[in-house]
Amino acid sequence: MERKFRFTIIPVAITFFILILLSYLPVLGAAASPPSTIDDSMKGRCSMTITKYGGDGYTPSNAAPGTLTGTTADAPTGGDPLANVIFTTQKVADLVQEDNALQYKVTSSDFANWAGAGITVGEVYPSATLQALINGKKAGDLQDISNWTGHIDSEPTNANGQTAFSNLDFGLYIVVETDYPSNVTQNALPVLISLPMSNQNGDGWLYQISLYPKNTTALTELDKRILTDHGITKNYAVSIGDTINYEVPFTAIVPAEGLISLTIRDTPDMALNLDPQSVKVYRGHGDGKTELTRDTDYSVTSDGGKLAIDLKSTHLNTLTAGTQDYTVTYTGVLNDQAVMGQKGHTNTVAFDYVKKGDPPTKVTTVNLDDAHPSPKVYTYGIQLSKLGDNGAKLQDVTFTCHRDGQPTMTFYHNLSGAYSPSTAAGAQESLSTNANGQINIRGLAPGTYYLTETKTNTGYQLLKNPVKVEIIPVENSLSGAVTAKVSDKAVTMLDEGGDNTTALVPLTIQNNRGFNMPATGSAGTITMVLLGITLVAGATILLIIWKKKQV
């Protein structure tokens, strides 16, 4: 009896052992199926929670590049949460038990069409076959998933980098990153997820999956400054007509898909004229930069004073994912629309780009920020008042002006009646007081100037010496502040209202009439001459008569 029982239990034990082995057959995303049975009550209650991380070169240590699945306890360290990322998922197959293994029956015609020959709707495939389809694929290869029937788009990831898909049925899902911030240079790889999925220990099923895809991110940077003989500055004072040398260094992000367009734009105010012919574009920064070829690598357009530099596709297609440094240089001239004083003039710069795969209307723009403000250009003026006796305003008194150590300046007399420095045809040296006895000189850089009176009104004497005027920058000022002296004495500069402070140097010249000397060639002079001649002639005649009588 004992022997019979021993032979009866052996087949039972073997059968039980085989069933245990079958429970360990592979399932996609795990080394082996767990021994427990799938809980059918969880059908339609599965979920995927995605926590998005990014960083320069960030790769989770316990994950293949781009993906990690498991519980929240498996969260990687070292990355930064990444907001505003959107994922799209699509169920592509049902779970089936076939040939004593968990396999996948394709249900999505869109997936089958994308996969191409060898994949047919309704056919059953092992995990390795389907996994091979996405190996080496990038998100850009599956952007069309947004048009697949039955796809689900996630909400953008929040500040903690999280978003989720919930109430999912059992099956095989493909997950693709379909939108991401502009600072992403390498996005997450597509991944196939089985719901449910065996845990990493192979001893249970996961119905709530946690994924930790990663991105490589980078920072854009944009600056603008003015190059001078003394170095680089953000605040520069010039005369009207002077040339300003601008430099715009920036760092652009090149996403994995590449760029359709990249454009640098400069928008000046009305007092700055930018020269499109002066534009040069360099790849890189500093001494190591190399100049690009105009009309081959980039083009330049000017519209209404605005400057646009477009990098051409022939150049953009040579770029690899990551960041790329550029330097753009060009010149501008301050014109006679300039305001005087500390208000100054700026021209804002920005660059924008469109990623491949995005519609042309989806433009990412990078502007100057508080850490890299737009530079300002300043200029100043002199308000000369010429007064006579009792404060009378003297019109048509003329002066010339020259800067210390330089020849006499020439000026343009504009419609407002002011004089602005100019070397153009028709510019004149002579400055003449108006009906109010004033000469308004607008658009002078800091420096020492001398005003020489060349003609005055009748009865007044010319000034013996030129009048010295100094416009002096305030040391270390970042606001264009200046002080002034007239004939070596400090004066308070005039404002032009609002924030146009320290704008004009006040200069008042008052003359009194000199001695009343008859003018050369006047009637009085002729009368005196005739009278003198008559007296001399009469005296001569009398002398002759007297001498005759003596004889």
Q: Which helix (H) or strand (E) holds 498?
A: none
Q: Which SS3 state, helix, strand or coil, does residue 147 take?
A: helix
CB 132 within 8 A of CB 123: no
Residue 112 to residue 103: CA distance in whole angstroms: 16
Total residues found in the chain within this entry: 551
Q: Which SS3 state, helix, strand or coil, does residue 386 take?
A: strand
Q: Considering the entire predicted model, what is its pTM? A: 0.67
Residue 266 to residue 349: CA distance in whole angstroms: 4
CB 346 within 8 A of CB 226: no
| CA proximity to 36, closest of 27, 46, 47, 48 | 27
Q: Strand pairing partners for 460?
A: 513
DSSP 308-332: EEEE-HHHHTT--SEEEEEEEEEEE
| CA proximity to 226, closest of 300, 329, 370, 308 | 329
DSSP 92-138: EEEEEEETTEEEEEE--HHHHHHH-TT--TT-EE-HHHHHHHHTT--
Residue 55 vs residues 181, 250, 323, 327: alpha-carbon distances, Å: 12, 20, 13, 25
Q: What's the CATH number for 221-376?
A: 2.60.40.740
Residue 326 to residue 262: CA distance in whole angstroms: 11
Residue 486 to residue 498: CA distance in whole angstroms: 25
SS (H, E, C) 432-479: ECCCCCEEEEEEECCEEEEEEEEECCCCECCCCCCEEEEEEECCCCCC
Report the CATH superfamily, name and number, of domain 380-510. Answer: Immunoglobulins (2.60.40.10)
pLDDT digits (tens, 9 = 90+) for 268-290: 999 999 999 999 999 999 999 99
Half-sphere exposure of 470 (CA within 13 A, CB side): 12
For the chain, the straight-line distance linking the first and the last C-alpha, in angstroms and rounded, comes to 205
Residue 255 to residue 179: CA distance in whole angstroms: 12
Residue 433 vs residues 399, 400, 416, 439: alpha-carbon distances, Å: 9, 12, 13, 5
CB 312 within 8 A of CB 296: yes
Cis preceding linkage at 190, omega within 30: no
Residue 205 to residue 35: CA distance in whole angstroms: 9
Six token digits for residue 375: 């530079």
Position 36 scores a pLDDT of 54
Residue 62 to residue 74: CA distance in whole angstroms: 8
| CA proximity to 348, closest of 385, 322, 381, 374 | 374
Report the CATH superfamily, name and number, of domain 2-217. Answer: Immunoglobulins (2.60.40.10)
Six token digits for residue 13: 């034990």
Q: Which residues of the chain have pLDDT under 50?
A: 1-35, 57-73, 516-525
| CA proximity to 340, closest of 485, 495, 235 | 495
Residue 265 to residue 52: CA distance in whole angstroms: 33
Q: Which residue stretches of 306-429 are H helix?
A: 313-316
Position 502 scores a pLDDT of 92
Six token digits for residue 332: 């501008």
Half-sphere exposure of 506 (CA within 13 A, CB side): 9
Residue 495 to residue 502: CA distance in whole angstroms: 5
415-424, long-range: CB < 8 A, 24+ apart: 418/336, 418/381, 418/442, 420/240, 420/241, 420/336, 421/239, 421/240, 421/241, 422/240, 422/241, 422/336, 423/241
Position 3 scores a pLDDT of 46
pLDDT digits (tens, 9 = 90+) for 282-320: 999 999 999 999 999 999 999 999 999 999 999 999 998
Residue 257 to residue 496: CA distance in whole angstroms: 53
